[in-house]
Amino acid sequence: QVQLVESGGGLVQSGDSLRLSCVVSGQTPNSMTAAWFRQAPGKDREFVAASWRSTGYTYYADSVKGRFTISRDSAKKMVYLQMNSLKSEDTAVYYCAGDATLILSQVRNSGAYDYWGQGTQVTVSS
C-alpha cells in the first residue's frame, strides 16, 4: 500500500523560502510520477509541479515556474518542493501526489493521481 506523508509547511513572510517534504512508503519514488498540488480556500485544487517517473523530467505551473523546484531522493524515498520568493497568493494547503501509470497528457490532472498525502498548510503573509 502506497502512503505519502507531507511535512514542512508553516507561516512565512512574502519573499521567504520554504521546503516541503513528502516521504513515500510502499513504492519507489522513481517508479511513479510524483507531483505537488495545492488548494486555497474556496478554490479548486491546482497543479504546482511534477517529476515524471524514471526520467525525472519536471513540469511546472506557470505561476511557480522559476520560483519552485521539485526534486526527489529515491534512496531516502523522499519528494521535495523547494519554494523560493513566496507570495501571498501561494497560500494554500499543499498536497503530495503520486501515480505509477498515468500518461504524459495527464500530468497536470489531479484526477489522474491515485495516491495522496494529507496535506500541509503554507501561509504567506504580505
Radius of gyration in angstroms for the set of CA atoms belonging to the chain, rounded to a whole number:
13
Percent of the chain clearing pLDDT 90 (strictly above): 90
What is the average pLDDT value for the chain, to the nearest integer? 95
Q: Residue 100 CA to chain centroid, in angstroms? A: 16
What mean pLDDT comes out for the span 101-108?
Answer: 94
Tell whether the model's pLDDT for residue 29 goes beyond 80: no
Cβ contacts of residue 99 below 8 Å, gap of 6+? 32, 33, 112, 113, 114, 115
Query: 73 pairs with which residues across the strands?
Result: 78
Is the pLDDT at 15 greater than 90? The verdict is yes
